Amino acid sequence: MTDEELIAYFEHALLPESVRLDRATTQFNVRDAVNQNLESLRADPKDTRCRHRLQRIAMAIEHPYDGPEIPRF
């Protein structure tokens, strides 16, 4: 996704409170995380970390991880 597509996607997306990104990662306060990463993306378009994080959140919203959690001992 391009930066413009990411911005447009999150402007109209219904964001949950939390979403599992993968087996080991759960993103809490999705709305705050998205807003913070969008601000960083607009401030510095060369910053690949915020773009990657937004892409992971978008993928998790569309296809939530439903596999096993990491075992706790």
State the number of CA atoms in the 13 A half-sphere of 72 facing the CB. Answer: 2
% pLDDT > 90, the chain: 78
The pair phi, psi for residue 63, each rounded to 5°, is -135, 85
Structure confidence at residue 73 (pLDDT)? 79
Does the model's pTM come out above 0.85? Answer: yes
What is the reported pLDDT for 19?
Answer: 95
Kindly list the averaged pLDDT for each block of 10 residues, start to end, along the chain of length 73. 92 94 93 96 93 96 88 80
Domain ranges of the chain: 3-62
